[in-house]
Chains A and B, each alone.
Chain A
Amino acid sequence: DAGVTQSPTHLIKTRGQQVTLRCSPKSGHDTVSWYQQALGQGPQFIFQYYEEEERQRGNFPDRFSGHQFPNYSSELNVNALLLGDSALYLCASSSRLEGVYEQYFGPGTRLTVT
């Protein structure tokens, strides 16, 4: 049973460009959350998707947007990239049916903006 997978593993973009990151949740999970982790910091919550809708959002600008597909996979889009967007982007999946709330994290996508 595959866990959470993310693609690509690494990405280098230039300021002003746009980027799309992809995530496939753990089998049986219906909720996907995205986090941004800067070097030396804990992960910061971006937003969460359930039933193809954004349900919660952290303190991130509108340049950050997402989508969830019928198969529960998800995309994170970032427009007009800034140098400060360089970070590890983590996807986590979970299930509303599980009694213990545990988010399963993927390995992340390392984004470098030059």
Chain B
Amino acid sequence: LAKTTQPISMDSYEGQEVNITCSHNNIATNDYITWYQQFPSQGPRFIIQGYKTKVTNEVASLFIPADRKSSTLSLPRVSLSDTAVYYCLVGEFYGGSQGNLIFGKGTKLSVKP
């Protein structure tokens, strides 16, 4: 599984857009990029997954450049409730694979009023 590097922490204010970038220089052809969110004393929660270009859902957008060596999670107009740890994971994440998830330390996002 490709190793990922992301900032340890980030600060933002309510209403701002937050972009968290993850580096994965050794990503393999079959690897997908997935982001999870974790609140204190809770299990991680799936946010978004992508392979290339741009993916958007009701929660976030994921931008992946052509070389796929990095990705950016974009959270539009954050609120206090978005304060959490965000994990970037890379691996063969598709239904038939069932690979285990390798978590790093994640990015601790603090949203201030």
Q: Which residues of A contact B (CB under 8 A)?
A: 4, 31, 33, 35, 40-45, 48, 50, 55-56, 58, 88, 90-92, 94-108, 110
Cα–Cα, bound, A77→B98 (Å): 22
Q: Does B81 contact A (CB under 8 A)?
A: no
Q: Does B29 contact A (CB under 8 A)?
A: no
A99-B94 in contact (CB<8A)? yes
B87-A96 in contact (CB<8A)? no
A44-B103 in contact (CB<8A)? yes
Cα–Cα, bound, A35→B46 (Å): 15
In the complex, which range does the number of interface residues on chain B fall in?
20 to 34
Mark each residue of chain B from 82 to 113: 1 if its CB lies under 8 Å from any CB of chain A, else 0: 00010100000111111111111110000000
Cα–Cα, bound, A6→B110 (Å): 28
B45-A105 in contact (CB<8A)? yes
Cα–Cα, bound, A94→B102 (Å): 15
| Contact A92/B43 with A42-B104, A42-B106, A102-B49 known, Cβ cut-off 8 Å | yes
| Contact A43/B101 with A100-B49, A101-B49, A105-B45 known, Cβ cut-off 8 Å | yes
* Chain B residue, CB-CB nearest to A91: B43
Cα–Cα, bound, A31→B101 (Å): 13
B94-A101 in contact (CB<8A)? yes
* Chain B residue, CB-CB nearest to A4: B43
**Chain B residues within 8 Å of A110, by CB:** 41
Cα–Cα, bound, A105→B39 (Å): 12
**Chain A residues within 8 Å of B41, by CB:** 88, 107-108, 110
A101-B103 in contact (CB<8A)? no
* Chain A residue, CB-CB nearest to B105: A42
**Chain B residues within 8 Å of A55, by CB:** 98
**Chain B residues within 8 Å of A48, by CB:** 98, 100
**Chain B residues within 8 Å of A50, by CB:** 98
A95-B43 in contact (CB<8A)? no
B43-A101 in contact (CB<8A)? no
Q: Of A33, A107, A108, which one neighbours B100 at CB under 8 angstroms?
A: A33
Q: Of A96, A107, A108, which one neighbours B96 at CB under 8 angstroms?
A: A96
Q: Which of A31, A91, A104 has the most CB of B within 10 A?
A: A104
